[in-house]
Each structure stands twice: as structure tokens, then as C-alpha cells.
Amino acid sequence: MLFWTTIKLALRSLIGNKLRSVLTMLGMIIGVAAVIAMLALGNGVQSQITKWVSRMGKNTITVFPHNPRIPPVLNGAAEPLTLGDAHAILSIPGVKYVSPVVADSKPVKWGNYHTYCNIIGCASTYILIHDFKVQSGQMFNYFDIRDMASVAVIGPETATRLFGSQNPLGHTITVGTIRFKVIGVLVPKGRQGWFDPDNQVLLPYTTAMTELMGQHQIALNHIDIEVQHASDLTPVQNQIQTVLRIRHSLIDGDSDDFWIASQLQIIKITNRIGGAFTMLLGSVAGIALLIGGIGIMNIMLVTVTERTREIGIRKAIGARQRDVLRQFLIESVLVSVIGGVIGVGVGVVSAHFVKFRHATGVVEPHMILLALCISAGVGVFFGYYPARRAARLNPIEALRYE
């Protein structure tokens, strides 16, 4: 039996039972559409996280005072990060900017308006490291830091919550119980996951450490660094590790009591998490494909039973087992592939409407190819048993079947 003749017969059989064929395809349509949409959503989330990380600065390294590989009990006795550590890092070749950072969350008030936001004590280089830009006014400078000036640069969201449409420059806000003069407003960046860079107040770190967080506050929350070139990230990171181990009096065999994270490491970690999230969503959506495949097997078994006499006639006039097997297998694959093609279209359209927080689905060509291959594989896998059962029917018994 010629291959194309077999395809024509299969199509004729599907057209002859339109409702049954459509209902059988429906499982594959839903399954493939779900796989496309979920993979696209996972890909979109991964892309969004990478954008968030990239938007927080280029060629950056962050030093934290605790090593996540050390138990919390031991971390508690670790040497804190200090201003001396930040100054030592600044002298390392390849380092462009350094900013010590102390951070907290506090209420901020102006008149009868108040909000709750992140308070960042930092150097003037903080906005250069994290690619912030000043929308109006100016960033505090070296002299403000040296003189522990009570000045603040606020995010656009903070400005809107406190001042509405008024110009905040020159007004005095209260952070905790301390008053600060607003000298600048940042350009909006947009919320980035759990962190909202538009709702924050930047203060000179000297003022934050002495006036706002108390004289006892000598430890830094982290140290932010920008290196000259992307190629300097790894060498500079190794130099920072060496310098801090010496300053913290760590000997060979001691674990680092700090943690250094470069932008590349963070992107790798987020990509790994995003990939796992994508696989999870794809696996859940794959259940719909499994159900669709079971539906195909069920309908094909019914079809074999209904066409038992036809199979007997074909075998009686010379059809071989492999001809019958191929005929029913092609029917199964056609149902699956046609359903898969429609499902791809539905999935691509759905991907533009599926959202997770601020991430939308991103469809890539390999997803479509993967979905079509899977749909064809489902047709072969779940259609093989009914086709084999049809091929092995005894022609004499099949002709007597009523």
C-alpha cells in the first residue's frame, strides 16, 4: 500500500467522523497550548529576572558580611564588614567605584503625609554603581559625606507618596525621628521583583551610621563595587577575597566569613532558578499532553473495534500486517499532529496574555519545534498499541465480526 494512499485513507477516515476527530484533537490542542504557554511564561520570568539584575548595574560585585555556606551560629561570630574594608577594596587595581552601604526600613514623613520605604546609607558613587540617574536636583557629594550633612535623595515613588505633584526639592522630610533636606529625586526604574528602587531614600552613609542608626552602628550591610571592565570581574573578585581574608585575620583552612557575589554569578543563579521554574511549569503542562495521548489511544481502540470487518476485508485481498499497522498509526499521528499545530497557534496567542507579576510569556522557535515533535511522538506512542492490535487481527474472525 503506497504511503500517500495511506495518508489519503487516514484523512478520509478522520473527515468521515468529524466530531470524534475534533474531540480527540481537543486533548492535544489543550496539551500543546499549555506546554507552549507555560514554557513561554517560564522563559519570560527568566528574561525578566536577568533584566532586573542587569538594570542594577554593570560589572558589579557585592560583598556581604555573612557566608551562606557557614552555619548561622558561626556566622554570628564572624568579623563584620567595616569602612576600613571598603577603603581597602578601593585600592585594588581594576576597581572603579566602591560604596559602603547600611540599610534599613523606616517610616518617612512630610507634613501629614507618610510612607514606609528603604533607607540606604551610601556613598555618592552608589548611583553610578547601580546606574541610577538624578531626575531633578543633585546627588550628595564628598563634602556632604565628610560633614555628615542631613541631606537626602529620594526615589520617584517616595516623592509621589509624600509630595504628590509638588516639587520635593528643598523640603524637609523626617526619617524615623531625624530631619533631612531633600536635594534630589531619582529617575524611575520600575519595580524589580521584591525590591522597589523607586521607593527609597538615599542618605550619606556617615549621617545614616551616626545619626539615624546610632553611634554603635559600625558594621556595613554590604559593600557595592563596580570594576573597570567585565573581564576584570573574576581577577578583582579574587583580589577582594585575598584582601578581606588578611584584614579579617583568617588563616589557611578557615572559611571566609564574608560572601562575594559578582553580577555574573547572580545571573547564573537566577538563570538556574528560572530554568528550574520553566521545567516545573512544562512538567505540569505535560500532564495535559499525557491526558490527550490517552484520549487518542482510547478513540483509536474504539475505531479498531468499529472497523474490524473492514480490516478483515483488507487482509483478505492481500493487505499485510505492516500495511494495517501503518494505516492506523498514520491516523493516530495525523490526529496528534493536526491537534499539535492548532495547539501551537493557541499557545503562541495565549503566551501574550499569560503573566506572572511583570513578566509576560516569551515564545522562542525551539519551543514550537519541541511541541510539534512531542505531539508527533505522542501520536506514535499512544497509537502504536491500537494499530498493532488491528494489524494482528485474524482475517477470518474479522470478516465474521458483526
More confident residue, 6 or 34: 34
- Percent of the chain at pLDDT exceeding 70: 83
- Residue 174: other Cβ atoms inside 10 A: 15
Tell me what pLDDT residue 400 has: 63
More confident residue, 313 or 355: 313
Tell me what pLDDT residue 225 has: 93
Helix axes 263-306, 18-55, angle to 10 degrees: 180
Tell me what pLDDT residue 74 has: 47
More confident residue, 216 or 56: 56
Cβ 28 vs Cβ 194: under 8 Å: no
Band of pLDDT at residue 165, cut at 50, 70 and 90: confident
Tell me what pLDDT residue 300 has: 76
Tell me what pLDDT residue 101 has: 93
The mean pLDDT value of the chain amounts to 80
Tell me what pLDDT residue 206 has: 92
pLDDT in tens, 318-350: 767 777 777 777 777 888 888 888 888 888 887
- Percent of the chain at pLDDT exceeding 90: 29
pLDDT in tens, 59-78: 889 999 875 555 444 444 56
Locate 319 and state its grid cell: 493487505
pLDDT in tens, 208-267: 998 887 655 578 999 999 998 888 888 999 999 999 999 988 888 888 888 888 877 777
* Sign of CA pseudo-dihedral 389, 392, 394, 398: positive
Quick check: 112 pLDDT over 50?
A: yes
Helices (H), 208-320: 233-247, 263-306, 308-316
